[in-house]
Structure 1
């Protein structure tokens, strides 16, 4: 039996989000449409793929057997799409980049404005996510990540190291001891369910009884709180030319083993065959190499 790709894509969205509503959001279609199409798929297969409950949708044994080949099919669909697009010799059109909220706000948004002025044929879509999107499947063209790629089919275009520092408002800095310790600082950090993201685990290791004075699941809210003098944040000390003015100042305080962090520009290997993706990748490398330390090109 031939299963259309769109049905496989729907099945994967439900399997990986754990619910019909999550799949609807991921695919940008209505939940009734997801429910109707999934029912039609299960009818055509003669087997239930999911067990529905108030907690979501979990795979049946038939669904479990379909999951691995469906993921392979998704990767090959991404390859097919990139092969088609590589025939376009003009570096024009949409390029999708995914990164952490910090990098999207601090670097990629102003980089996109510069790109629009200097290369008007290109347009960026910046996908802010704390989860890694699947580049093999084509969920994004490029990614800025804090871990080097290990998944088969991915390529590391550039690896850099950056210095991390503790930043506070000038008003808070004036109230602190002359040589403050990490434990002396009121901290701003991630709120659940994102509290396992850096720097929370690192601060928990460095600061006995770590208890932030303010938490948020939104990076911009954290920055606003820091600029208002509420507490300290950990940020990369990188003076790139797109940096926005800020009232935050760095403290002379050691972050110990977490004083540096790495950054990797990653893509699917075949993505660089697409002229517009290759051009944006080269422009990103050029900008990042100006501010990174110990850079390398894998």
Structure 2
């Protein structure tokens, strides 16, 4: 039996997303292709790997046995790719950076323009997501995230502490008390399935009966609502030379967020990825900008 990495990756995508359609989206192929290739894999293995239902795809006992080996294959495939690319002689090509929607929108998008001007051969792909990409598997090259890694194969290249602030439109700020309480502020926040994403849980702790006036599952829609004067939202008060808040006429309120007034931003990378010139160069440029922001 010779199971290819492509087949193992297909199996893993279905197992981790729990559906054929989500797996197709992750792999960027059609759902009929997912079904056809899985059927061929199950025929090769000689057992059903998933139980299909209206709720999705659940692993069978035979599928459970393959899950951990498939995950290890994914990690080694990422390591193999990075080792092969470490022989590149110059910093050129695609570098994938993943971050939260806020950091992607506010910092990484304009940072990409800086990279393009400085190194025309480098291209950035920014993966804006609530979920963390698996760096070990090669789903991204670099990550800016709020939680320190405990994975021995990853390294924290740089760490920056940020102040959190409550942003509103100028028009709404003029209508609110000079120093409003958290209860007096109309809030824009995350909607399901992201209701557990910060700052929702933190605001729920600080504000009894926390009920936003507007919710959405899209960060840019949240920003648009704040710009329109619907309410306020919490964002990192990330003062850097690419600031989007100033251009979009959002201003901070003078309010105390208590223990949630700060956040930490970590630049994380697979250790072996720093041997790839293009990844190393982008990480160096990111560190330069983060250090510049720290000194502002």
Please say if residues 144 and 266 of structure 1, whose CA atoms lie closer than 8 Å, have aligned partners that are also in contact.
yes
Residue number in structure 1 paired with 2:198 = 198
1:180 matched to 2:177? The reply is: no
SS in 1 for 2:8: helix
Please report how far the alpha carbon of residue 22 of structure 1 lies from its aligned counterpart in structure 2 after TM superposition.
1.1
Runs of 4+ off more than 6 Å: none
SS in 1 for 2:52: strand
Q: Which consecutive unaligned segments of at least 5 residues does structure 1 have?
A: 294-298
Q: CA-to-partner distance for each residue in 1:143-164, whole Å, 9 max, x for gaps?
A: 0000011123111111111001
Please say if residues 14 and 20 of structure 2, whose CA atoms lie closer than 8 Å, have aligned partners that are also in contact.
yes
Please report how far the alpha carbon of residue 291 of structure 1 lies from its aligned counterpart in structure 2 after TM superposition.
1.5
Equivalent-residue separation in structure 1 for 2:209 and 2:10 (angstroms): 45
Q: CA-to-partner distance for each residue in 1:103-126, whole Å, 9 max, x for gaps?
A: 110000000011111110100000
SS in 1 for 2:293: coil
Equivalent-residue separation in structure 1 for 2:13 and 2:250 (angstroms): 41
Equivalent-residue separation in structure 1 for 2:65 and 2:86 (angstroms): 33
Please say if residues 239 and 291 of structure 1, whose CA atoms lie closer than 8 Å, have aligned partners that are also in contact.
yes
Aligned with residue 281 of structure 1, among 270, 280, 283: 283
SS in 2 for 1:124: strand
**What does 1:226-245 align with in structure 2 at a 5 Å threshold?**
226-244=226-244, 245=247
TM-score, normalization by structure 1: 0.97
Residue number in structure 1 paired with 2:38 = 38
RMSD: 0.9
Please report how far the alpha carbon of residue 24 of structure 1 lies from its aligned counterpart in structure 2 after TM superposition.
0.9
Please report how far the alpha carbon of residue 234 of structure 1 lies from its aligned counterpart in structure 2 after TM superposition.
0.8
Q: Which consecutive unaligned segments of at least 5 residues does structure 2 have?
A: none
Aligned with residue 294 of structure 2, among 281, 286, 292: 292
TM-score, normalization by structure 2: 0.97
**What does 1:220-259 align with in structure 2 at a 5 Å threshold?**
220-244=220-244, 245-259=247-261
Equivalent-residue separation in structure 2 for 1:230 and 1:24 (angstroms): 37
Equivalent-residue separation in structure 2 for 1:190 and 1:143 (angstroms): 22
**What does 1:21-36 align with in structure 2 at a 5 Å threshold?**
21-36=21-36
Residue number in structure 2 paired with 1:262 = 264
Equivalent-residue separation in structure 2 for 1:2 and 1:290 (angstroms): 52
Please say if residues 95 and 122 of structure 2, whose CA atoms lie closer than 8 Å, have aligned partners that are also in contact.
yes
Equivalent-residue separation in structure 2 for 1:277 and 1:184 (angstroms): 46
**What does 1:15-164 align with in structure 2 at a 5 Å threshold?**
15-164=15-164
Please say if residues 238 and 292 of structure 1, whose CA atoms lie closer than 8 Å, have aligned partners that are also in contact.
no
How many residue pairs end up in the alignment? 293
Please report how far the alpha carbon of residue 243 of structure 1 lies from its aligned counterpart in structure 2 after TM superposition.
1.1
Please say if residues 96 and 141 of structure 1, whose CA atoms lie closer than 8 Å, have aligned partners that are also in contact.
yes
Please report how far the alpha carbon of residue 235 of structure 1 lies from its aligned counterpart in structure 2 after TM superposition.
1.2
SS in 1 for 2:163: strand
Equivalent-residue separation in structure 2 for 1:220 and 1:83 (angstroms): 37
